[in-house]
Chain A
């Protein structure tokens, strides 16, 4: 770990409005993620885990509070600037994979590179490299319907890595997988972190959380416990 702060949330709140009912999913979250950290966010369903991930990944903006990504205040960024952060600095891995159903593994991995306007030759090389990295070099022309859950999730990881992001955000990445494929996926995250990538995994599986070096526990939209898994308390 180089200790440089990548993510910093201060009193972040996020409220959703459904009709006239307002629901506060995050009720003032303080969180710092140094670059290179391997972090898990756990908590029961409805505790605000996914909302927190959406905020960290710039898929959503906080209702109030301060969010800084690499020191930059995210709250005030335009939608295009947010899109660029998601494109180049964040890699998402979703529980539901979220692959384009009509596109092959190759084409799915290619999408972020297209939006980053990487040249065709470099793009193809990069996609091939990423697919090889997740062990899918021979599945490049398969569509999601022709792949197993584990393969789809590995495709999603390859896509998340395509633009060499600063942080990988994984929301229940093994939720739709059997335990064997799930373990394989978690091992990929272990490797990525070992190579220096910041990885945040949202999960309710304590085994997966056990792979990470720090666990943040959310409950009812606030951080309940926050500590490294060797028992060493970390300051916010």
Chain B
């Protein structure tokens, strides 16, 4: 092996076959770009969905009333179990691993008026814990409902982002008076424009939240609709859920094993569903990515295949004038490697440039809120280049191996 000779011939031929090499490079780069962008957008979607999902709150559980289905201590089944306004405080005391807890009321189709805008809206009665538990984050210049509001049963309201827009439009809402159920309320804050993928009673964007004490005073609901709680550590969720159930069973005298006495939803079970959905999306994108990869591979193989006849003759000619088999093989190998790496690197850098460019496009859109921003994965890029490179190698190198293994007279005759 005389590497210098091979490299000499290689460089000379490489410069001479620009068209074919350019086409192969483009096919490789195209395959890399399409898959990296596809999976990049998939990853962006994944991240955005995770952010959106946490819009409802992370690591929380929601409790609602039910009906006993098992007789217990001489009490018959079918007894309704309702949530009392004292229950959150009681549970916080009985289950020490609860970090935050609060009771919530709901009422739909309540008349909400600001000047000449009259709407029929969803009103919730909540506590300051909602800010952390349920991501009720106020915009700048406003605040969430606080403990004084609750203690003093103040008539203050915290508006969801969409509801604020429907009532006030572009006008500033904080400090203004609106009437809810014919009672004047002062707007103390507006929620940030958060994305929320899941809810148990409608989207937070469309709600008007007031202190739950004020709610009870105005509407007179005898029972809480929900209790929302959050353990210090999400890992303790099961333990805390059992503790809550036992405490409630002791207070309301039902069998702790009675699944229907109280309803519970928690973040962990939601996580499973969410992960299944994400897995579905990933499998879908994976299939599309695989097909794209396959098409790109076919493109590379096709270019290689089309040139087999020409290249087989080229090999025959070179061998007739004295090229050793190893010269031919090393030359084709180098060519395949350079094209693969060149095309792959070009594709990867283009994908990077495109996604970075996309991230910098200053558009505010609801669609983007759901789509997220594409995120490039270099591991995927490497896998893509490896697969496409292998296909290029197989379709370019093996015909060369065959052509250089038979007698040169046969390669010269090749049609």
Contact = CB atoms under 8 A, between A and B. Distances in A.
Interface of A: 54, 57, 59-61, 79-80, 83-84, 86-88, 92, 94, 98-103, 107, 111-112, 114-117, 159, 163
A86 B325 contact: no
B378 to A, nearest CB: 36
B323 interface: yes
A108 to B, nearest CB: 9
A215 B5 CA distance: 40
Contacts of B325: 79-80, 83
Can you list the 3 inter-chain pairs with the closest CB atoms, starting with the nearest? A87-B322, A59-B409, A102-B16
26 contacts: A59-B412, A60-B407, A60-B409, A60-B410, A61-B407, A79-B324, A80-B324, A83-B319, A83-B323, A83-B325, A86-B320, A92-B320, A98-B316, A99-B317, A100-B317, A103-B16, A107-B16, A111-B317, A111-B318, A114-B12, A115-B322, A115-B324, A115-B327, A117-B2, A117-B4, A159-B321
B321 A111 contact: yes
B287 interface: no
A102 B412 CA distance: 16
Interface string B386-415: 000000000000000000000111101000
Contacts, number: 80
Given A98-B412, A102-B16, A86 B310 contact: no
B9 interface: yes
Contacts of A87: 321-323
Nearest to A86: B322
B115 interface: no
Interface string B316-353: 11111111111100000000000000000000000000
Interface of B: 2, 4-5, 8-9, 12-13, 16-17, 310, 313-314, 316-327, 407-410, 412
A107 B323 contact: no
B5 A115 contact: yes
Nearest to A85: B322
A59 B320 contact: yes
A80 B321 CA distance: 12
Contacts of A103: 12-13, 16
A59 B12 CA distance: 25
Contact of A59 (B314, B327, B408): B408
A143 B319 CA distance: 20
Nearest to B4: A117
B160 to A, nearest CB: 69
A125 to B, nearest CB: 17
Given A83-B322, A83-B325, A100-B314, A114 B13 contact: no
Given A59-B407, A60-B410, A61-B407, 17 more contacts: A54-B407, A57-B320, A60-B408, A79-B325, A80-B324, A83-B323, A83-B324, A84-B324, A98-B316, A98-B317, A98-B320, A102-B13, A102-B16, A107-B16, A114-B9, A115-B322, A163-B322
Most chain-A Cβ atoms within 10 A of its Cβ — which of B317, B327, B407?
A: B317
Contact of B321 (A79, A86, A102): A86
A92 B13 CA distance: 21
A156 B26 CA distance: 35
A99 B327 CA distance: 18
Nearest to A98: B317
Contacts of B324: 79-80, 83-84, 115
Contacts of A112: 321-322
A92 B321 contact: yes
Contact of B17 (A61, A99, A102): A102
Contacts of B323: 83, 87, 115
A117 B322 CA distance: 11
Contacts of A117: 2, 4-5
A12 to B, nearest CB: 15
A179 to B, nearest CB: 26
Nearest to A81: B324
A116 B327 CA distance: 12
Contacts of A92: 320-321
Nearest to B15: A102
A116 B16 contact: no
Nearest to A107: B12
Contacts of A79: 324-325
Nearest to B325: A79
Contact of A116 (B314, B322, B326, B410): B322
B203 to A, nearest CB: 65
A176 B316 CA distance: 20
Nearest to B12: A107
Contacts of B412: 59, 94, 98
Nearest to B8: A114
Contacts of A99: 317
Nearest to B411: A59
Contacts of B322: 83-84, 86-88, 112, 115-116, 163
B358 to A, nearest CB: 40
